[in-house]
Structures are given as C-alpha cells and as structure tokens.
C-alpha cells in the first residue's frame, strides 16, 4: 500500500510539474512576444509620438537674380520654393481657399551705418499672392516641392524679399532674402 501511495504521490507531483511547465512556457511565450513587440515597435512609436515624423515639414527657399529686360530697368527674377521634407502630404491651401504663399519686395534705400533695418519701415514695391491663381486646394506630396517664379522690372538697388507661407490652420513660416539688384 505504501508503494501504491508513493506511485500516486509521484504521479500527482509529475502532473503538477507538467502543469507548471505548461504555464511557465505560456508565460515565457507571452513575455517574449511583448518584449519583441516593444523592440520592433519602438522606432515607429518614437517617430509618431516624440519626433513628430508623421507631421508635415515644409520649408521655404528664396532665390533671386537680375536679368536684362526690354525697359531701362533690369528684371528682378524671384524664385520661391516650398519643399515638403516630411513623410506626409502638406496642405498649402485647402478646398475652401484658406492658406496662401505671399512674396513681398521692399526697397532698402536710406540706411544708417551701424543700425539694424526695420523691414516694416521700408517702402513696399511689390506684393503677390502665389497661390491665388490656383483654384481649389493645393497639396505637396512628401519629399516634393512647389516652385513659383515671378519677375518684376525694378530700378537697380538693394531689395529685401520675404516669402510667407500661411497654412489653412493659421500657422505660418517665412523666409527672408536680401539681394543687390544690378544691371546685368
């Protein structure tokens, strides 16, 4: 009888150990899946919540040059480029017409040595809305750009050029460029 009792006790212990092995195997499987999930999802989670890599990232670039025109005044050629460096499309202008890209040219005429220029006190010689010609919305794909070229005949001189991109939500970015406009 003690032998039978020993076998029963041994079989019960074996059964309990098998159940513990199954449970610990299940726990190890769940822990490894969760650990792998954290490791493999860390970069996308970081990009989304911390770095904002899934936001539009638009920058503005301005360039200008002087070319000979038909009149006595040389032509000032202004190139404005809005570049989407982000991973999602950037809406410059929505379907309701909100959003704009404006270029403004101001003449730098009387400047005092050693004093900073106040752009608001400079005489405005030209202002143009670049997106007004586009009906409906305007969206830039990721890693793409929108470029607009404008020309205006101006007398030779130094000019302050600012381009302001106002997004449909009301946020804006701007870029300033100063150029010496000469007869070519």
DSSP assignment of 127-146 equals EEESSTTS-S-EEEPTT-EE
Kindly tell me if the per-residue pLDDT of 161 is higher than 90: yes
The tokens describing 38, both together, are 């954290």
What pLDDT score does 163 carry?
93
**Per-residue pLDDT reduced to its tens digit, 95-151:** 887 888 899 999 998 777 778 888 899 999 999 988 887 777 888 888 898 898 888
**Per-residue pLDDT reduced to its tens digit, 25-84:** 777 778 888 888 878 887 777 766 766 666 778 899 999 999 987 778 899 999 999 998
pLDDT band at 1 (very low <50, low <70, confident <90, very high): very low
Query: 3.30.460.80, 2.120.10.80, 2.60.40.10, 1.10.1740.10: which CATH number matches 58-181?
Result: 2.60.40.10
Q: What does each C-alpha distance from 154 to 53, 76, 117, 159, 175 come to in angstroms?
A: 42, 7, 21, 10, 21
d(CA 131, CA 152): 18
Whether 128 and 76 have beta carbons less than 8 Å apart is answered as: no
Global pTM reads: 0.68
């Amino acid at each position: 009888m003690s032998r039978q009792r020993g076998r029963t006790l041994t079989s019960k212990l074996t059964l309990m150990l098998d159940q513990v092995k199954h449970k610990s195997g299940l726990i190890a499987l769940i822990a490894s899946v969760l650990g792998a999930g954290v490791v493999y999802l860390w970069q996308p989670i970081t990009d989304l919540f911390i770095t904002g890599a899934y936001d539009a990232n638009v920058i503005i670039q301005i360039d200008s040059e002087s070319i000979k025109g038909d009149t006595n005044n040389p032509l000032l050629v202004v190139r404005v480029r809005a570049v989407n460096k982000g991973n999602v499309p950037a809406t410059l202008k929505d379907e309701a017409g909100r959003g704009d890209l404006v270029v403004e040219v101001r003449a730098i005429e009387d400047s005092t040595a050693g004093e900073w220029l106040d752009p608001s006190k400079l005489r405005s010689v030209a202002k143009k809305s670049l997106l007004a010609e586009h009906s409906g919305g305007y969206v830039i794909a990721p890693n793409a750009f929108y470029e607009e070229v404008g020309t205006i005949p101006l007398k030779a001189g130094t000019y302050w050029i600012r381009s302001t991109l106002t997004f449909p939500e009301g946020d804006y970015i701007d870029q300033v460029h100063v150029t010496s406009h000469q007869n070519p």
